[in-house]
Structure 1
């Protein structure tokens, strides 16, 4: 880190940007990073539920590449951003024969392309600081899961990009890692797996820790990767899955 960058680093509060941070896992991540001392900017299509996140939040459709680039470039110009959590993502469950091509474009644009656009826009700020932490929220579905053809493709793309970025950005003190959640109790999970359904019961019974993960479990892993002391860890994927990926 250069002397100028070190001085900025010591005098400015670090800023973390969290995409899709208005609800569920993204909100838990944003709130945890606030607790860790960062100024957190949530970028989402809706306003954050948590009042502490509302003042600095930006609303934009992250599937719109041009609009996203404008917002992120403005954030990178106004703030000294050193943390980026590419968290936004949606699921379109469907068996192979039922997959819709329009869903392929929709999920790829939001889940994967937005991460590329956001990262490109905020890299100048991280390079100017001489350090950065980029975390991508992927999923254990990269190892295989029924009815997740498109979703798993987007998450696999994120993990592949993360490994490439880790190599390209290492010389700038910027690390790139992935957190891959397993079954997490979010509104989206319960919508796809009603709590009283046999499917939900089977999922929980197959978790070695015998409980659903909570959004805060994912936030804990993100916090670890964002920590300044995690600077010798890059290009990795940490599964937050209660042991599901072990067997």
Structure 2
């Protein structure tokens, strides 16, 4: 189909070794992009990169500005930047640890800001680019025990919309994707601690199932193509109908 080819484009996916990140890497690579799998877990990133044609990998500590700067110097020009990495620490807000707030702020919000600041100018100069921020439906609707996490992920909304305005004349789009309940190893670990929780969640979803990493990756891949060249500044949920706007 015309406009769905990413040949010649370089795509960076942070958190690329996780379940959703790996699915995003796979879809972008299948469309022809040269994918850079960025993750603090270098062995896992290497495994994902080895499974994709022409992919590369590099460890990056998103909590460390020096590591981010070194990463951007290594990648060279980047056309597609998918901010997928995130840290979630679940605890009631009134008893939460401000040190955990700081970690989530550094990884979930400051890191996307720093990465974009370093890589966006090249996109604008070349006249083409895609920014995709992976947030959370918890940031749109709130989520018990995730006050600080939701706050940092909600910050991506304002950042992405501002960048959509500032970078539009360089033909760079900027959008946010918010996964709803998604079947990942992290969710399964929670279910192991609280048996039946996943089934209960699934019953409350209009489509009566959890999302899959591939459900999220499909929307991200579309937003990175020329078919989505007129879509910018949007916050889109992939939630099976849990969140409707």
Question: Is TM > 0.5 for Structure 1 vs Structure 2?
Answer: yes
The equivalent residue for 2:4 is none
Q: 5 Å matches for 1:210-229?
A: 210-229=208-227
What whole-Å deviation, never above 9, does each CA across 1:56-101 have from its counterpart, x for those lacking one?
101121111121122113313xxx4211101100110111222110
RMSD: 1.9
- Three-state SS of the structure 1 residue aligned to 2:192 is coil
Confirm whether residue 23 of structure 1 aligns to residue 23 of structure 2. no
Question: Where do 1:57-206 residues align within 5 Å?
Answer: 57-76=57-76, 80-142=77-139, 143-194=141-192, 197-206=195-204
Alignment of 1:40 with 2:32, yes or no, is: no
When the two structures are aligned, how many residues end up with a matched partner? 234
Instruction: Give how far 1:195 is off.
Output: 8.2
Render the CA deviation track for 1:141-188: whole Å, top value 9, x for unaligned: 011111111110111001111111111111111100011000011111
CA contact (8 A) 1:73 1:121 kept: no
The C-alpha deviation readout for 1:165-223, integer Å capped at 9, x for no partner, is: 11111111110001100001111112223387232222111111111110000000101
TM-score with structure 2 length normalisation? Answer: 0.90
Distance in 1, Cα, partners of 2:108 & 2:81: 15
Q: Secondary structure at the match of 1:232?
A: coil
* 1:124 aligned counterpart, secondary structure: helix
CA distance in 1: counterparts of 2:183 and 2:10, whole angstroms:
28
Q: Matches of 1:197 and 1:18 in 2, distance apart?
A: 32
TM-score by length of 1: 0.89
Secondary structure at the residue paired with 1:133?
A: strand
- Counterparts of 1:215 and 1:45, CA distance in 2: 20
| Higher deviation after alignment, 27-36 or 115-124 | 115-124
Contact 2:34 / 2:55 at 8 angstroms: preserved in 1?
A: no
Change in CA separation of 1:198 and 1:183 when aligned onto 2, cut-off 3 Å: same
- Give structure 1 stretches of 5+ with no counterpart: 1-11
| TM-superposed deviation, 1:55 | 5.4
**CA contact 1:17–1:42 (8 Å) conserved in 2:** yes
For residue 81 of structure 1, give the secondary structure of its aligned residue in structure 2: coil
